[in-house]
Structure 1
Amino acid sequence: MSAESAGSVTTDVVALIPALRAFAWSLCRDSAEADDLVQDTLLKALSNIEKFEPGTQLRAWLFTIMRNTFYSRVKVRAREKTGMAECVADGVSVAPTQEWSLRGGELMDAVARLPAHYRETLILVVMLGESYEKAAEICGCRIGTIKSRINRARSMLMAELGETVH
């Protein structure tokens, strides 16, 4: 890759940081961990920028790096022993007063309780707007699997939130 095209790709990478942060948050569920995951992803991507093939989907390439980095961390943490959790409040001290805030919180809590593979595909396709094809590429599975996971995730959310399917 030429220096000029590497500079262009680097500019495109910077433009994708908000989407990377959103995907990282959906995986980690913690702002600090999500920021660390984005930073690690960007570091890996930029240090291997010559491996990116111009003309392919940069967003999918970055999301794949992020997903692989996240799951590598999960494997490492499973082998490590953790210490005591910090003494920090789990929630907000003042409850929201608007009903939409409450429902939005309920929805995000329900999304957080979904099994990881359902949550991941729901976030990619529904919230981040990735196509089924790109989500399948990122997750390393078939399009039919992505569609099935999205359908099951939606059904699980509807049931948990007490909504009926029309």
Structure 2
Amino acid sequence: MAAETSLKDQMLAAVPHLRAFAISLSGSVDRADDLVQSALLKGLDNLDKFQPGTSMQAWLFTILRNDFLTQARKSKREVEDPEGAWAEKVAVMPEQGARLDFTDMLAALSKLPVDQREALLLVAAEGLSYEEAAKICGTNIGTIKSRINRARSRLAEFLNFDAQDDLGPDRLVKAALFMHSGP
């Protein structure tokens, strides 16, 4: 117990030196205090690994320096974003809602007449032009536009959409219901 107390006394004696070293590394008193506290806690947790007869101060300096370098490497990968603008751009929508929306969309699509479903899928899902869809379906562009318009209206009814705002952020649902809905 006396040897352990002596080690703790050595740790306490090293604190001012650790603090000065941490300030010189970090350039910030607050960050330096955090580094010293972390080094002391890690030192206490690993006191059994300290080699008696060696310098406690040097050992704690090594712990502090390693902690500082680890934090510096981590901070290089981090993007400062105090306003949350970057995080907002990379936000990912939860999958469960999209999966349920997809299931609902498939059910609604299956209720459409075949000619409307075919026209809508060719243009909205496959990205074909009205002209290309008309050729595939063996009809004219006006008929394709009419079928797509009716299909979108029916889907909106089946899915209980009152306005475009009800669709949320799902681009595929918006595309199926509103893309190319002009003349």
What's the TM-score, normalizing by structure 1? 0.48
Question: Rg larger in 1 or in 2?
Answer: 2
